[in-house]
Chains A and B, each alone.
Chain A
Amino acid sequence: MRRAQDIAAEEKSMRTILTLTGAFEGLSSMRIAQIKNQVLESRDFFADLWQMYSQLRVDQLFNYGREKEQKVINKDLFIGITAEGGFSGDIDQRLIDLMLKGYDPAKQDIIIIGHHGAVQLSQRGVAFIKYFRLPTVDKNINVTPLVQHIQEYKTTSVFYQSYTSLMVQDIKKVDLHSAVQAAGTLVNEGDDIITEINYIFEPSSYAVIAHLERIMLQISLSQMILESKLAQHASRYRAMSSAQQLALDTSSGLRLEYNRVRRAVGDQRLKEVTGGMKVVRSHQL
């Protein structure tokens, strides 16, 4: 039987875990609220910009905002957006699994965002051409270096974590070209179509469209990064909630065991005392 003081020590450490998981859960909940707030704040601006882009008749010309004569690498670029640290449950592992499912080093190159994903790739012996830290800011995320890489490749697929609800997060793979193109074709009825016939473009239609394509790429990437951060915090919240529940159950179990052991020790002592008394009485008689 375990000693009562050992059980008490274990229960104490379990209470510490309970406090820590509670703190992490609180932090995750706060960050989820903050990021959701950011998304709401910028919603009108991005909606207007998407609206204007959708009115442009450029869908067939989409060229990742490249210069006219820019040469491209005849490979697909995989971009994986993962968490910077651990404690995010299994969401990063699932993302890496999906990314490596159809991976062929001869046909694809990988850029990984987030330290946790980079570690996971290294552990599996998979090389990546570039690693970026997951941006700590939620506003004005600078994705320009990423867009420069995207423009060098024929096509790009982004693997990111999507937020459905606090309890449900999913892994998504999108072809960046299709994602931007699809959003660009959602014209509301009655909206003007922007063409060279009815608009003046300055400095030129090609320059404006190329700039807009870069902007839309940047916005799409920023939104995917922000959504991944939201999903990571939600996943962390979920992991911490489970850990907290487990710690609570373990702590209750330990408390029961502690009480049982103490009672058993008491009973044992009582048994010894009564046994001793019986011996003494038998000697007196």
Chain B
Amino acid sequence: MAMRQDASTGQLVDDGRAAPKTGGQLVDGKPVMHLKIYSPFRVYFDETAFSISAENATGPFDILPRHHKFLSLLNPCELRVVSPSGEKRIRISGGLMHVQSDKVKVFLDV
């Protein structure tokens, strides 16, 4: 059930509608995940994506939706993001990737 905030009391109440699914979403029939790539003072990407490719100490790798929970240091490389709006490449000097239930966060400049 979805919750909404009551304007008079400010409390969360059940609005009787089905809650939107946060995982397993499809776009063009393909599963997507939410991806955010950012540094302290700039957001490079904050949308749904089909995949992200990067490189760590063990080599190049891809992250797709429904990936296992994952925490990795990133090597200097070019991130390749495939999203419904197209492909995007971002060159990075290193970072940290955190994958957690169809949510991927890439922290840069750390």
Contacts and interface: CB of A to CB of B under 8 A. Distances in A.
Contact of A46 (B40, B98, B100): B40
Interface string B62-87: 00000011111100000000000000
B39 interface: yes
Contacts of A211: 73, 96
A200 B71 contact: yes
A194 B71 contact: yes
Given A45-B107, A49-B107, A211-B96, A203 B56 contact: yes
Contacts of B72: 200-203, 208
Interface string B34-68: 00001111000000000000001110000000001
A202 B98 CA distance: 11
Nearest to B109: A140
B76 to A, nearest CB: 14
Interface string A207-234: 1100110010010000000000000000
Given A42-B41, A139-B41, A192-B100, A207 B73 contact: yes
A202 B100 contact: no
Contacts of B68: 200
A61 to B, nearest CB: 15
B56 A199 contact: no
A165 B72 CA distance: 40
B41 A48 contact: no
Label chain B's interface by main secondary structure: strand
A140 B41 contact: yes
Contacts of B40: 41-42, 45-46, 139-140
A264 to B, nearest CB: 64
Nearest to A207: B73
Contacts of A201: 71-72
Interface string A17-61: 000000000000000000000100110111011001000000000
A202 B110 contact: no
B73 A200 contact: no
B74 to A, nearest CB: 9
Nearest to B68: A200
A219 to B, nearest CB: 8
A252 to B, nearest CB: 46
Contacts of A140: 40-41, 109
A45 B110 CA distance: 11
A70 interface: no
B41 A215 contact: no
A20 B4 CA distance: 55
Contact of B39 (A45, A200, A202, A208): A45
Interface of B: 38-41, 56-58, 68-73, 96, 98, 100, 105, 107, 109-110
- For the complex of A and B, 7 pairs with smallest distance between CB atoms: A203-B57, A42-B40, A202-B72, A45-B40, A199-B69, A200-B70, A215-B110
20 contacts: A41-B40, A45-B39, A45-B40, A140-B41, A192-B69, A198-B69, A199-B69, A199-B70, A200-B69, A200-B70, A200-B72, A201-B72, A202-B56, A202-B57, A202-B58, A202-B70, A203-B72, A207-B73, A208-B71, A208-B73
